[in-house]
Amino acid sequence: MAGDDTKRSLDAGKRVSIPVSRTIADGQAAEIPGELTFLINRNLVDDIALATDGAVREAMRCAFERFKLVLEPSGATGLAAMIGGQIPAAGRVGGSHQRRERQPRSASPN
């Protein structure tokens, strides 16, 4: 899946470089997560949901038709994951973010 450098890096516990594939969500197409971004994500992110280009297009269409919003593809990936059932939405109001206490991962950047 294009743009999953952060997911692969978090799974590996270190920054992982991947070949950059073509994707409609080009704002998320990176070869490797930035050092600071990776450190922040490692400490604050529990999981990453991926979305296909087709799901992103569908989310953009849905946002336009239902909410009259024009979304940039990278900005539509969260909605695409929610519509696709990868992020549970039942019982939530106002977004998909849920803050909870957690133990920080190790501090090593690589």
Q: pLDDT tens digit string along 20-52?
A: 888 999 988 899 999 999 999 999 998 889 999
Helix 35-44 crosses helix 5-12 at what angle (to 10 degrees)? 60
Q: Write the pLDDT tens digit of every residue in 86-107.
A: 887 776 655 444 555 555 666 5
